[in-house]
């Protein structure tokens, strides 16, 4: 099973220099069911063997779990480069 992530929801911060993803919306590629996943739930899903990805213009970018200090977050890697594909998704 894989989740095709199509939308992103950002945390609302007043003075932050950068944005943090709060949750994502994705479709299970087997069942066709669309769900909202908090970052913590998506991290758990990926760490337990699940696959998640984004896709744009026919190009697929796998979503991985990364860690900065004690905080785990999700980020895409396409063509061997860490990128911000998630930030380019439609907001909800």
Q: Which helix (H) or strand (E) holds 32?
A: none
pLDDT band at 16 (very low <50, low <70, confident <90, very high): low
Q: So what's the pLDDT on residue 85?
A: 87
Let me know: does 78 contact 63? Beta carbons within 8 Å. Answer: no
Decide: pTM greater than 0.85.
Answer: yes
19-28, 38-47, 82-91, range with the lowest pLDDT: 82-91
pLDDT band at 12 (very low <50, low <70, confident <90, very high): confident
Distances (CA, A) of 85 to 6, 21, 32, 67: 10, 12, 22, 17
């Amino acid at each position: 099973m894989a989740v095709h992530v199509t939308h992103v929801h950002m945390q609302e911060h007043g003075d932050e220099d950068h944005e943090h993803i709060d949750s994502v919306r994705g479709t299970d590629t087997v069942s066709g069911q669309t769900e909202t996943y908090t970052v913590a739930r998506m991290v758990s899903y990926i760490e337990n063997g699940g696959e998640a990805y984004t896709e744009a213009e026919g190009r697929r970018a796998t979503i991985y779990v990364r860690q900065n200090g004690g905080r785990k977050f999700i980020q895409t890697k396409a063509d061997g480069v860490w990128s911000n594909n998630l930030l380019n998704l439609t907001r909800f």
